[in-house]
Structure 1
Amino acid sequence: MARVCVIGAGAAGLCSARHLLVEPSVAQVDVLEQGAQLGGTWVYTETVGYDDFGLPIHTSMYKSLRTNLPKEIMGFPDFPIPESDKSYLPAKDMLAFLQLYADKHGITQHIKFKHHVQLVIPKQGPSGELWDVTYKNLNNGVSETKEYDYIFVCNGHYNTPFIPNIPGLKKFQGDVLHSHDYRVPEVFTGKRVLVVGAGPSGMDIALEITSVTPRVVLSHHLKEQPKTVFPDNLVQKPDVVRLDGSTAVFQDGSQEEVDVVFLCTGYLYNFPFLHESCDVSVEDNCVEPLYKHLVNINHPSMCFIGVPYYVCAFSMFDLQVRYYVRSMNGTFKLPSSEEMTEHWEEEKKERAARGYTKRQAHMMGPDQERYYASLATEAQTKNLPSVITKIREESSIRFLHNLKNYRQDVYKIIDDDTYEIISNGTREILC
C-alpha cells in the first residue's frame, strides 16, 4: 500500500489528493502546504515580498483580477464550477470553488497547513525506490522527515518572477516592478509606465493602470497586433532593446521617457526543495527530463502536475493525475527509462523543427488536444472533450481583440463538441 506526499494545496495538489484518496492501492496521502489556506495562486494577499516566516509570497494575484478564461472550461471534468449568469469570475469565486471541491472530496483534513517543504531526496528501499521528505512546521519551527513511496510535485509555476536581461535595467533610474508584486493600480499614479510583455496579465494591467497614469507604453512582440482599441494614453511599441537612464529605446529606434519599468514577463519553474539527486534540471525554463511533461524519467515514482501552460488547466491536472495514478495501480505500465528518454528527446526535436524555443518546451496551445489524447490513450482513460479546447481558443482570440468587453461574453456547453456564446445580446452556436 502506497504512501504519497503531495507538495502544494493549489488546484493541482487538490486534484491529486482527490484521486489518490479513492485509490485502493494508496494507504496514506499527506498534502503539504506552505500557506495558511488552500488555493495556491488564487489566494489574494496585499502583502508582497516575504511572509511572516521569511518565505517568498507565493501568490501573484492582484486585487481586480477576473479569470481570463470562461468558468465553463475552468472546472474539473467531474466537478464543474456552479452555474451563474457570468462566465468570467473574480478570483475570490475561484478560491471558493476550490474550497468546495476540497470539502466535497474530503481533502481538507489531509492538508498540513503552514508546512514548508525543505528537502526531497530519493533513497533505495528494500523493494525499490523511496523518498525522504523533510518539512518544517511553521507554527512551532520544528522540522521532521517522513518516508514516502511517491511524490506529487504540485507547487505551481506562477510564483518565481522571470526578470529579462534588458541592457541598462539594473542602472535604471526609476522604479522596477514585476507583476508578481502588483496588487492595485494606485502605485502608478502620475507616473509614466513602461509595461514589458503582453500576455494576459500584461494586457490586463496595462489597460487597468491607464486610469491613473499619464502614459502607458506597452512593449511586446505579439505576432498578431491586438485589435483592442486602447485609451489614448496607451501606446504600443516593439521590444525594448535597452534602458539608458530614464529613457527606453525600442527595436524600431523610437524612444520614451519613463518613470517605472513594469515587468509582465512571466515566471520561472522553481523546485528549491528537490535535492540534486532527484536528477531534475531547469534550464531556460525547460524542466527535464520529463516523460509527457509529467513523469521524472530518472525517478518515475515522482511526477509533476501542471507543468504545461496555455492549456485548460484544471481539466489537464485531472487527466494528468488519472494517467499517473493508473500507472501506479498497474492499469498500464510506464515505458522503460530508455524509451521515455527517447520519447522526450524526439519531442524536443520535433518541437524545435516547428519553431519552438527551449524556453517554450512546455507550451501547448495548439498542441494541447494532441497532448490530452496521448495521455488518455496510453492510460486507457477518458479523454477531455474537444469542446473545452474550442472554447479556450475562441475566448483567447476575443481576449486579444476585445480586451475591454470580452468578459461580458457568456458561454454554455451544449455537448462534448458544441457550445454557444452570447455576445452583445447575440446568440451563436459553434462546434
Structure 2
Amino acid sequence: MSLPPPRRRLPLLLVEGATLLSGTGNGVATVALPWLVLERGGGPTAAGLVAAATALPLLVASLVSGTVVDLLGRRRTALFSDALSAASVAAIPLVDATIGLNLAWIVVLAALGAVFDPAGLTARETLLPAAAQAAGWRIERANGVHEATWGLAFLVGPGVGGVLIATIGPGPTLWVTAAGFALAVLLVAAVRLPGAGRPEAPPAGVWQGTVEGLRFVWRDRLLRAVALLTMVLVALYLPVEGVVLPAYFVAEGAPARLGSILMAMSAGSILGALASGWAVRRLRRRTLFVVALVVTGLALVGLAALPPYPAMLTFAVVIGLAYGPINPLANYAMQTRTPERLRGRVVGVMTSFTYAAGPAGYLLAGPLVEWLGLRAAFLVLAGALLVAALAAVPMRVLHALDDPPRYPPAPPGGTTGRTEGPVPLGEQWAPTAHRD
C-alpha cells in the first residue's frame, strides 16, 4: 500500500502572498495617485480623470485577460503582469525626477498600470486549484482564503497608503508600491505547480479565445446565472460604498464614521469568505448562496434606513459577513464546470462582467441621488438588490452548485504519479510535462 504524498503548502502560500502584495499595491495606488494630482494643484475633476483612466482599461483588459493567460501560461502571465505593474508605478516618480510630471503623464501611466492588473488576477486565480491540491486543501477552503486575502489587501492598502503619504510623501510611496509588486514577482517565480507553464492547447488568438470563453459562459446555464447575478449585485452595491455613503457622511460632517462603516463591511467580508469553507461542509452550496444573497439584501435595506450610527455599524458588519461567501461559491462554479484548457478564458470573462458592472452602477447612482434625494436613492438601490436576491431563491439552475464536478478530478496517482486518496473537489489533472 502506497503512502499518500506529502502535503506541500508552499505553492499556496506563494500564490496568496503574491495576491496580498499585488492587491495591497493597488490599494495604495488608489490613494497615492489622486493625492499626487491634488498636491500638484489639480482639482477634484483632475483626480476623477485619473480614476476614470484606471477604470476603463480594467474593463477592456479583463475581457481578454483570460485568453492571455491561456496563451502564455499561468505563472508566466502573473510574472509579466506584476513586473509591468511595478514598472508603470515606478515610472511616475522617475518621470517626475527627470522630465517633470504633469496630469497627462499621470493619466497615461495610471492607465498602463491598470491594463496589467486583470491578467495577473486571472492568472493567480487559475493557479489556485492546483495549489490547493498540493496543500491537501478542499477547493472551497482555498477559495475562501483567496477571497479573504483580496479583501484584506484592499482593506489595508488604502490605510498603508495614507500612512506612507503622511510619512514620506506620495512620490516615495509609489517607490514602495513598486517594490511590493517586485516582491510579488519573486514569489510567483518560485511557484512550481502542474499546469502553471505553457498550455497544451492554447487558443488560436486573443479574439478567438475571448469569443470562445464568452460562448462557454453563456451556454452554461449556471455560469450565466451566476455571472448575471453577480453583475447586478456589484452594480447596486458599489455605488453605496463609492457614492451614497460618502455623500451622507460628508453632509453629516463625520468622515471618520464613513471610514468605520467601510472598514466594518470589509472586515465582515473577510470573515465571511473565510467561514465559507466551513459552511459548505454543513450546508448545500445552493442554500448558502441564496441565503448569502438574501441576507445581504435585507441588511442593506436596514442600512439604507439610515438608523443611528451603532445600528449602521452592525448592519455594515452583517452585509460583509453575508456577502463574503458569494465570490468563493462563484469561483467554485467556474472551477468545477470548466475544462482545464478553458479555465483562464472563463475566469477572465466572468471577471469582466464584474468590472463592467461597477461603472454602470456609478452612472446610475449619481443621477438617482440628484433626482430622488440621498435617502430615497439609497432605499431604491438597496430595495433593488433585495429584489434581485429574492428572485434568485426559486431559480432551479442554482441547484447545479451541488452537482458533482462536470469535469473529472485528478486521476488515481494525481499529478505526482502515486496512488492517492481523494483530491480536493474540482481539481482537474494537468500534465506534469508542462510544469515549469
TM-score (norm 1): 0.27
Taking CA–CA contacts closer than 8 Å with sequence separation of 6 or more, which of the two structures ends up with the larger relative contact order? Answer: 2
Higher strand share: 1
